[in-house]
Structure 1
Amino acid sequence: MILPEHKNLPVHLLASCFNSTVASYKFYWFLSLIDQVETGKTVISKQDLFAGMVANAWYTVNYFKVSFGVLDKLQEAVHEIRTHENLTIDCDRRMVFTRLSDSADPLIKRKLRYFNGEVPHRFLSPWLRASDKNHVYAASRDLNNQCLYGLYNDHIEVNPDWFNYLREHAGILRKFCYWTLALFLQSKNPNVPDIPNKLIKSPVRKSLNEQRKFWDIVLGELGSVDCIYTGKKLIIGDYAVEHFLPYAFVSHDLMWNLIPADRSFNSSKSDKLPPLDKYFGPFFDLQQNALNIVKAKAPKNKLLEDYLTIIPDLSLFERQRVFDQINPIATIAINNGFEYLRS
C-alpha cells in the first residue's frame, strides 16, 4: 500500500515510521494522532494522544483477545484500565477516550504517562535520528526539519505543512496504519484467524437470518432438537443461533460453527469456550443430522458450502475428522486468553 505523494513533504519518511517495529505503540500513537487532527486540532495534549492509543486498542485487546506480545505495555495498560474503571470489554471507543482524556485519577495518569518515555520522540526517528531525547525534542520544533510535529512537555504541535496533508488523507493514512498493524499482529499471532477484522469494532454485526432458515429446515423435519447445553426442547421460532466456538475468536458466521441453543443460555455463554470433552459429541451429532437433512431437503442451499472450509468432501464429515479440525482452534483460543464455559 502506497501513501499519497506530496511535492513538498517527505512522505517516504512517514511511511518508514513503521519499519522494524517491535511493539504496537507507534501504530496506535499514529491512529490517535489522526483522530485528533480530524477534529481540527494542531496543538494536542499528550494525555489525549495516550488516551486515544488505549481507546483504539480497546476492542482488539479486550474483545478479540489478540496478543500484542508478552512485553507490550499497551496491552497491559488496556487490561489494567478496564479493571480499574470497570468498563465493558466492548465499550465504545469514544467513551473510553472521554473517560481517560478527562481523568485526573493518579493511576490512569501514571498508566498513560508511561508512553511518554519513548513513543513521541521515537516516532520521529525517520526525521531525527539522534539518540538524545532532549535533542529530538528541541530539533523537532524547527519547522525547517519538515518534522511531522514539534515535541513539548505536555503536548505536541503538528507542523502546519503536515497538518493539511494528514487531514486531507486521513482515511488513506488510517488504512495504511491498520494494514501495517495487521501484518505486525499477525506475526505475533500466527495461528489466530482474521486479524485484519479484529482491529476495529464493527458498527453492526451481520444478521444470522439465512443461518436461521438453515436450522428451520432441520427443526421442521425433526419437530424439535435438544439444546446441547441445557437439554431444553428447541422449536422453530424459539431458539438462538449460537456460535459454538466464540465469534470473538473465529470472527465468522460459517454454518459448521453455528447451532441452535436455548436463548437464555446463549446470552450467558458470551465468549466462553465449551469444553470439547463434554460438548463436542452432542455438537457433532446435531451438525451431522443437520447436514444430512439439508442435503436431502435443500441440496442447493449455499450454506452447505460453509462446511467445505473444514471438510473438503462432505461425504467425509465424520466425528474424528471434524474433531481434528476444531480441537486445535479451541486450543489456540484458550492460549490467547479465552476461558472455558463452567458447568
Structure 2
Amino acid sequence: MSVLPLSDSLPIQALASCFRSTAAAYKFYWFLSILQEVERGNHKIRKMDLFAGMIANAWYTINYFKLSFGKLDQLQIAVEEIRLNENINIDENKSVILNILKNSNNPRTSSNLRHFDKEVPHRFLSPWFSNIKGNRKEIYSLSQLFSNECLYALNETDIVINPKWIDYITYNSGVLKHFCYWNLSLYVQRHNPNVPDIPNKLIKPAKRGSLFKHRQFWNNVINQYGPIHCIYTNRILDIDDYAVEHFVPYAFVSHDLIWNLIPADQRFNSVKCDKLPPLDKYFDSYFDIQALAIRTVLERSCDKKFQEDYLTIIPDLISVNTISKESLKERFKNNIQPLVTIANNNGFEFIK
C-alpha cells in the first residue's frame, strides 16, 4: 500500500512524506504507537507512553525473529538493552511489555526511553515545517498553535493530537497501519536482504499454526518404514512418540513446510528451541529422514500440500525416481545451507 486516503482539508502529503528516505526505524514505530493510543480514545498522550509503545511494537521483530534495523539503530539498541535490564522474555506479549515499561523504576530503562525524546517527536513533524530543518525549539513552539495543520502539538511531557486530524485517524486507522507496516517492511527488507517472509515478522502472530496434519504425515512415514532414530539423541521414535521439529528454526523461516520438519526427541526439542543445527553433524541424518518422507509422498495418498512443499526443492517431483540419491542430497543441501548461514549471520546460535 503506497497511497494514503485523501482529505480535502488536511495536508496528507506531509504525513506520507514522513516515511520517505527513512534512515532509522523510529518513525514507523512512533506513528504506530500514536495510532494505537488514538484507537484507545487518547488524544493527549504522554511521550513516555509512546516510547514504551515503540519498544513493545518492535520487541518481537528484534528479539524473536532477530531482524536487524541497522547496526547503529537506536531503537534496536534500546530494545536489546531493555530486554536485559528488565529480564523480559523474548516472546512476551505486547501488553505485558507495555505494562512493565510504563511502571518500571529502573533508571536504565527510563534512560533508554527518554533518549527518544531528543529527536523523535519533533523530527517526525519535519514535513510540516520543512523550512526550519528539524529545529527542535521552533517546531515545539509552532506545533502548539497547530501551525500548517500539523498532526500534533508538543510540550515537554505530552503530545496533543490536532483535533482536525482525530476523525481522519480514527476512521482510517486500519489503512494507516497497513501503510506504515508496508513501508516498514521495505525498510526492514533493505537491512535483511536475504531473510524470508519479512512482512510476517513485524507482528507477533496471535497463534502459531497447528502441526496436527504434519504429525499425521510423519506417523504415516513411521508406519510404512518403521521407527525413526532422532537425529540429535539417536533415541528411537515411534508413532506419536516425538515432537514435530523445525530443522531450521521457525523464528527464521517463518513457515511449516514439510521439508524443514522432522520428528525429534521431545526432550531435546525443548532444549534446542531456536538454535541452529551444525550441518556437518546433523545434515546427513536429516536428509535420510527427508528421503523417506519423499518416498511416502510419492507412494501413498498424502495431502497435496506436502507434495507442493517439496516443489521448492524439486520442481519436478516425479524426477526423484530417476535422479541419484547423491544428486537429491545435493539439492537439499543447496536449499538448507544458505538458510543456516543467513540465520547465523542474523544472530541465531548453533546447538552446542
When the two structures are superposed, what TM-score results if normalisation uses the length of structure 2? 0.95
Counterpart in the other structure of 1:216: 219
The answer to whether structure 1 residue 242 and structure 2 residue 231 are counterparts is no
CA contact (8 A) 2:52 2:98 kept: yes
Offset of residue 48 of structure 1: 0.2
Distance 2:181 2:6 in 1: 19
The secondary structure found in structure 2 opposite 1:201 is: coil
Offset of residue 310 of structure 1: 2.2
Q: Which blocks of at least 5 consecutive residues in structure 2 are unaligned?
A: none
Distance 1:144 1:335 in 2: 46
The answer to whether structure 1 residue 339 and structure 2 residue 349 are counterparts is yes
Counterpart in the other structure of 1:110: 111
Distance 1:295 1:61 in 2: 40
Offset of residue 304 of structure 1: 1.5
The one-character-per-residue Cα deviations of 1:160-217 (angstroms, maximum 9, x if unpaired) are 1112211221111111100100011001110000000000000110011121121111
CA contact (8 A) 1:230 1:265 kept: yes
Count residues with an aligned counterpart: 342
Offset of residue 123 of structure 1: 0.5
The answer to whether structure 1 residue 187 and structure 2 residue 193 are counterparts is no
Distance 2:198 2:305 in 1: 26
Offset of residue 12 of structure 1: 1.8
Give, as a single letter, the amino acid of the residue that structure 1 aligns with 2:20. N
Offset of residue 302 of structure 1: 3.0
The secondary structure found in structure 2 opposite 1:309 is: coil
CA contact (8 A) 2:297 2:306 kept: no
CA contact (8 A) 2:67 2:346 kept: yes
Counterpart in the other structure of 1:289: 292
Give, as a single letter, the amino acid of the residue that structure 2 aligns with 1:18. F
What is the 5 A alignment of 1:44-193?
44-129=45-130, 130-131=132-133, 132-193=135-196
Counterpart in the other structure of 1:232: 235
Distance 2:232 2:27 in 1: 44
Offset of residue 144 of structure 1: 4.2
CA contact (8 A) 1:16 1:126 kept: yes
The one-character-per-residue Cα deviations of 1:122-143 (angstroms, maximum 9, x if unpaired) are 1001101213210011011112
Distance 2:257 2:312 in 1: 9
Give, as a single letter, the amino acid of the residue that structure 2 aligns with 1:88. N
Counterpart in the other structure of 1:5: 6
CA 1:299/1:39 → structure 2, altered by over 3 Å: closer, same or farther?
Answer: closer
Distance 2:167 2:286 in 1: 56
Counterpart in the other structure of 1:322: 332
Identify which of 265, 269, 272 aligns with 2:268. Answer: 265
Distance 2:228 2:185 in 1: 41
CA 1:170/1:300 → structure 2, altered by over 3 Å: closer, same or farther?
Answer: closer
Distance 2:230 2:55 in 1: 39
> Percent of counterpart pairs with the same letter?
54
CA contact (8 A) 1:217 1:294 kept: no
Counterpart in the other structure of 2:15: 14
Distance 1:298 1:218 in 2: 12
When the two structures are superposed, what TM-score results if normalisation uses the length of structure 1? 0.97
The secondary structure found in structure 1 opposite 2:268 is: helix
The one-character-per-residue Cα deviations of 1:80-133 (angstroms, maximum 9, x if unpaired) are 101111110001011111111222321111101111111111100110121321
Give the superposed CA RMSD: 1.2
Offset of residue 300 of structure 1: 6.5
The one-character-per-residue Cα deviations of 1:211-257 (angstroms, maximum 9, x if unpaired) are 11211110111221111111111111211111000000000110110
Distance 2:170 2:242 in 1: 48
The one-character-per-residue Cα deviations of 1:22-71 (angstroms, maximum 9, x if unpaired) are 11000000011111111111111110010000000000000000000011
CA contact (8 A) 1:218 1:294 kept: no
Counterpart in the other structure of 1:42: 43
